[in-house]
Structure 1
Amino acid sequence: MFFSCGGGSGPEQTASQTETEREWVPFEKIDDWVEGKKLRKNVTISSPEKSSGARFYRRKGPSIGIDFRNQLNDENIKNYLLSGAGLSVGDFDNNGLPDLFLVSQDGPNKLFRQTAPWKFEDVTKEAGIKDKKSWGSGAAFADINNDGHLDLYVCNKGNSDEIYINQGNGTFNGGFVGGAKNPYRAPTMVAFADYDRDGDLDFYRTATRLLQINEMFKGKVLTKKDNSGITRAHPTQADQFEMIDGLPRELGTYDRLFRNEGSGKNGMPKLMDVTRVSGINITREHGLAAVWWDYNDDGWPDLYVSNDFHTPDHLYRNNGDSTFTEITEESLAYTSWNSMGSDFADINNDGRFDYLSTDMSATTHFKQKTMMGSMTDTAWFLDNLEPRQYMRNVMHVNTGTGKFIDVAFHAGIESTDWTWAAIFGDLDNDGLEDVFFTNGIERNVQDSDRAIRVQQASASGASAMELRKIFLDSPRFKEKNLAFRNRGDFKFEKLGDDWGLNEETVSHGAVLSDLDRDGDLDVVVNNMNDPVGIYMNLGDDSSQANLSDSSSMLISLRGEFSNHFGIGARLTLKLSNGQSMSRILTSSRGYMSGAEPVIHFGWPSSVKPKALNIEWPNGHDQTIKGLLSGWHYRVTESGTGSTESPDKVSNSENRLFSQIDEALGINFTHTENFYDDFTSQPLLPNRLSRFGPALAIGDVDSDSDKDVFIGGARDRQSALFIQKGGQFGRVSFPALKADQIYEDVDALWFDFDNDGDQDLYVVSGGASQDAGHEHYQDRLYINNGSGQLTRAPKGILPDLKFSGSRVAAHDFDNDGDLDLFVGSRFVPGNYPTGPESVLLINEGGNFSKAQCSASSSGMVTDVKWSDIDGDNRADLILATEWGPVRVYQNKRDGFHEITDSLGLNDFTGWWNCIAVGDVDQDGDNDIIAGNFGTNTKYSASEEKPATIFASDFGEAGTMQLVEAQYKEGKLLPIRGRSCSTTAMPHLIDRVPTYSAFASKTIREIYTPKAIEDAKRFEANTLSTMLFRNDGKGKFTAEPLPLLSQMAPVMDIVLTDVNGDGRDDIIIAQNFNAAQRETGRMNAGLGVILISKDNGQFDELWPNDSGFFSRADPRRLIVTDLDEDGSLELLMGQNNGEFQLFRSK
Structure 2
Amino acid sequence: MGAVAADGTGDGDGTPPAPRFREIAQQLHIHHQYVGEWEHFVGGGVATLDCDGDRLPELFVAGGAAPSVLLRNTSPAPGAALAFTEETPDNLRITGVIGAYPLDVDSDGILDLMVLRAGENLLLRGSGNCRFAPFPSTLGFKGGTAWTTAFSATFEPGKRLPTLAVGNYVDRDNPDGPFGACDTSWLFRSQGERYGPPFPLDPGYCTLSMLFSDWGRKGRQDLRVSNDRHYYPAGGEEQMWVVSPTPHLMGAADGWVSYRLWGMGIASRDISGDGIPEVFMTSMGDQKLQYLVPGATGPRFADATYERGTTAQRPYTGGDTRGSTGWHAQFGDAQNDGFDDIFIAKGNVDEMPDSAMMDPNNLLLQSPDGMFHEAGDVAGIASGERGRGASFADLNLDGKLDLVVVNRRADMEIYQNVTQEAGNWLEVQIMQPGINRFAVGSWLEVAAGNRTWTREITVGGGHASGAAGFSHFGLGDQDLVRLRIIWPDGTVSSWLEVAANQILTLRRDGDQFQAQDPFRATGAE
**TM superposition score category, shorter chain reference:** 0.7 to 0.9
For 1:640 and 1:262, how far apart are their aligned partners in 2?
A: 26
For 2:291 and 2:197, how far apart are their aligned partners in 1?
A: 32
The answer to whether residue 76 in structure 2 is matched with residue 123 in structure 1 is no
List per-residue Cα deviations over 1:646-702 (Å, max 9, x = no partner): xxxxxxxxxxxxxxxxxxxxxxxxxxxxxxxxxxxxxxxxxxxxxxxxxxxxxxxxx
**In the alignment, which of 72, 75, 85 is matched to residue 113 of structure 1?**
72
Judging changes above 3 Å, is the alpha-carbon distance between structure 1 residues 488 and 608 closer, same or farther for their aligned structure 2 residues?
same
The answer to whether residue 459 in structure 2 is matched with residue 587 in structure 1 is yes
For 1:350 and 1:274, how far apart are their aligned partners in 2?
A: 37
Match of 1:707 in 2: none
SS in 1 for 2:189: strand
Match of 2:240 in 1: 315
Q: Which amino acid aligns with 1:613?
A: R
Q: Which amino acid aligns with 1:96?
A: R
- Residues 513, 523 of structure 1: 8 Å contact kept: yes
Match of 1:411 in 2: 308
Match of 2:3 in 1: none
Match of 1:1022 in 2: none
Judging changes above 3 Å, is the alpha-carbon distance between structure 1 residues 284 and 315 closer, same or farther for their aligned structure 2 residues?
closer
SS in 2 for 1:85: coil
The answer to whether residue 496 in structure 2 is matched with residue 532 in structure 1 is no
For 1:351 and 1:522, how far apart are their aligned partners in 2?
A: 26
Match of 2:115 in 1: 154
Match of 2:499 in 1: 628
The answer to whether residue 261 in structure 2 is matched with residue 337 in structure 1 is yes
Q: Which amino acid aligns with 2:463?
A: Y
Q: Which amino acid aligns with 1:189?
A: A
**In the alignment, which of 327, 350, 357 is matched to residue 420 of structure 1?**
327
- Residues 389, 465 of structure 2: 8 Å contact kept: yes
Once the two structures are TM-superposed, the CA of residue 301 in structure 1 deviates from its matched residue by 1.0
Once the two structures are TM-superposed, the CA of residue 492 in structure 1 deviates from its matched residue by 1.0
SS in 2 for 1:250: coil
The answer to whether residue 111 in structure 2 is matched with residue 145 in structure 1 is no
Matches within 5 A, 1:54-69: 55-64=19-28, 66-69=30-33
Match of 1:397 in 2: 291
For 2:464 and 2:185, how far apart are their aligned partners in 1?
A: 14
For 1:600 and 1:299, how far apart are their aligned partners in 2?
A: 23
**In the alignment, which of 353, 358, 362 is matched to residue 282 of structure 2?**
358
The answer to whether residue 508 in structure 2 is matched with residue 637 in structure 1 is yes
- Residues 89, 131 of structure 2: 8 Å contact kept: no
Once the two structures are TM-superposed, the CA of residue 55 in structure 1 deviates from its matched residue by 2.5
- Residues 120, 144 of structure 2: 8 Å contact kept: yes
Once the two structures are TM-superposed, the CA of residue 447 in structure 1 deviates from its matched residue by 3.2
Match of 1:172 in 2: 132
- Residues 19, 334 of structure 2: 8 Å contact kept: no
TM-score by length of 2: 0.83
The answer to whether residue 160 in structure 2 is matched with residue 259 in structure 1 is no
For 1:592 and 1:85, how far apart are their aligned partners in 2?
A: 7
Match of 1:485 in 2: 365
Once the two structures are TM-superposed, the CA of residue 211 in structure 1 deviates from its matched residue by 3.8
List per-residue Cα deviations over 1:407-452 (Å, max 9, x = no partner): 052322224311111111111212221101111125343639xxxx
Match of 2:342 in 1: 435
List per-residue Cα deviations over 1:988-1014 (Å, max 9, x = no partner): xxxxxxxxxxxxxxxxxxxxxxxxxxx
SS in 1 for 2:204: coil
List per-residue Cα deviations over 1:345-394 (Å, max 9, x = no partner): 11211111111111111xxxxxxxxxxxxxxxxxxxxxxxxxxxxxx322
Once the two structures are TM-superposed, the CA of residue 327 in structure 1 deviates from its matched residue by 4.2
- Residues 192, 203 of structure 1: 8 Å contact kept: yes
Q: Which amino acid aligns with 1:584?
A: E
For 1:260 and 1:65, how far apart are their aligned partners in 2?
A: 43
Once the two structures are TM-superposed, the CA of residue 305 in structure 1 deviates from its matched residue by 0.3
Q: Which amino acid aligns with 1:303?
A: L
Instruction: Name the structure with the higher helix share.
Output: 1
Once the two structures are TM-superposed, the CA of residue 180 in structure 1 deviates from its matched residue by 6.7
**In the alignment, which of 143, 157, 166 is matched to residue 205 of structure 1?**
166
SS in 1 for 2:306: helix
For the pair shown, the structure with the greater C-alpha radius of gyration is: 1
For 1:622 and 1:87, how far apart are their aligned partners in 2?
A: 33
List per-residue Cα deviations over 1:1073-1111 (Å, max 9, x = no partner): xxxxxxxxxxxxxxxxxxxxxxxxxxxxxxxxxxxxxxx
SS in 1 for 2:147: strand
TM-score by length of 1: 0.39
For 1:156 and 1:275, how far apart are their aligned partners in 2?
A: 20
For 1:186 and 1:536, how far apart are their aligned partners in 2?
A: 33
Q: Which amino acid aligns with 2:34?
A: N
Judging changes above 3 Å, is the alpha-carbon distance between structure 1 residues 429 and 180 closer, same or farther for their aligned structure 2 residues?
closer
For 1:525 and 1:289, how far apart are their aligned partners in 2?
A: 17
List per-residue Cα deviations over 1:81-104 (Å, max 9, x = no partner): 311311110101111100100001
Match of 1:502 in 2: 382
- Residues 561, 618 of structure 1: 8 Å contact kept: no
SS in 1 for 2:211: strand
Matches within 5 A, 1:927-1076: none
Q: Which amino acid aligns with 1:139?
A: A
Once the two structures are TM-superposed, the CA of residue 562 in structure 1 deviates from its matched residue by 5.1
SS in 1 for 2:494: strand
For 1:170 and 1:421, how far apart are their aligned partners in 2?
A: 25
- Residues 316, 328 of structure 1: 8 Å contact kept: no
Name the structure, 1 or 2, with higher relative contact order (CA <8 Å, separation 6+): 2
**In the alignment, which of 496, 510, 515 is matched to residue 395 of structure 2?**
515
Structure 1: give runs of 5+ residues left out of the alignment. 1-52, 222-239, 242-248, 264-269, 362-391, 449-475, 544-548, 642-1144
Q: Which amino acid aligns with 1:494?
A: E
Judging changes above 3 Å, is the alpha-carbon distance between structure 1 residues 285 and 334 closer, same or farther for their aligned structure 2 residues?
closer
RMSD value, Cα: 2.6
SS in 1 for 2:27: helix
SS in 1 for 2:350: coil
How many percent identity over aligned positions?
Answer: 23
SS in 2 for 1:512: strand
Once the two structures are TM-superposed, the CA of residue 328 in structure 1 deviates from its matched residue by 6.5
Q: Which amino acid aligns with 1:255?
A: S
Judging changes above 3 Å, is the alpha-carbon distance between structure 1 residues 324 and 250 closer, same or farther for their aligned structure 2 residues?
closer
Judging changes above 3 Å, is the alpha-carbon distance between structure 1 residues 408 and 103 closer, same or farther for their aligned structure 2 residues?
farther
For 2:445 and 2:426, how far apart are their aligned partners in 1?
A: 12
Match of 2:443 in 1: 570
SS in 2 for 1:61: coil
Once the two structures are TM-superposed, the CA of residue 259 in structure 1 deviates from its matched residue by 1.7
List per-residue Cα deviations over 1:500-537 (Å, max 9, x = no partner): 12111101101111001011111111101111111111
Once the two structures are TM-superposed, the CA of residue 498 in structure 1 deviates from its matched residue by 1.5
Once the two structures are TM-superposed, the CA of residue 114 in structure 1 deviates from its matched residue by 0.9
Judging changes above 3 Å, is the alpha-carbon distance between structure 1 residues 580 and 284 closer, same or farther for their aligned structure 2 residues?
closer
For 1:331 and 1:496, how far apart are their aligned partners in 2?
A: 37
Once the two structures are TM-superposed, the CA of residue 178 in structure 1 deviates from its matched residue by 6.2
Judging changes above 3 Å, is the alpha-carbon distance between structure 1 residues 609 and 299 closer, same or farther for their aligned structure 2 residues?
farther
For 1:143 and 1:297, how far apart are their aligned partners in 2?
A: 24
For 1:618 and 1:341, how far apart are their aligned partners in 2?
A: 28
Once the two structures are TM-superposed, the CA of residue 583 in structure 1 deviates from its matched residue by 0.9
For 1:638 and 1:180, how far apart are their aligned partners in 2?
A: 37
Q: Which amino acid aligns with 1:55?
A: P
List per-residue Cα deviations over 1:952-978 (Å, max 9, x = no partner): xxxxxxxxxxxxxxxxxxxxxxxxxxx
List per-residue Cα deviations over 1:183-210 (Å, max 9, x = no partner): xx21012212113464642221111016
Once the two structures are TM-superposed, the CA of residue 59 in structure 1 deviates from its matched residue by 2.8
For 1:533 and 1:519, how far apart are their aligned partners in 2?
A: 20
- Residues 136, 155 of structure 1: 8 Å contact kept: yes
Q: Which amino acid aligns with 1:340?
A: M
The answer to whether residue 86 in structure 2 is matched with residue 86 in structure 1 is no
For 2:305 and 2:222, how far apart are their aligned partners in 1?
A: 22
SS in 2 for 1:410: helix
- Residues 289, 592 of structure 1: 8 Å contact kept: yes
Match of 1:551 in 2: 424
The answer to whether residue 204 in structure 2 is matched with residue 284 in structure 1 is yes
List per-residue Cα deviations over 1:712-770 (Å, max 9, x = no partner): xxxxxxxxxxxxxxxxxxxxxxxxxxxxxxxxxxxxxxxxxxxxxxxxxxxxxxxxxxx
Match of 2:316 in 1: none
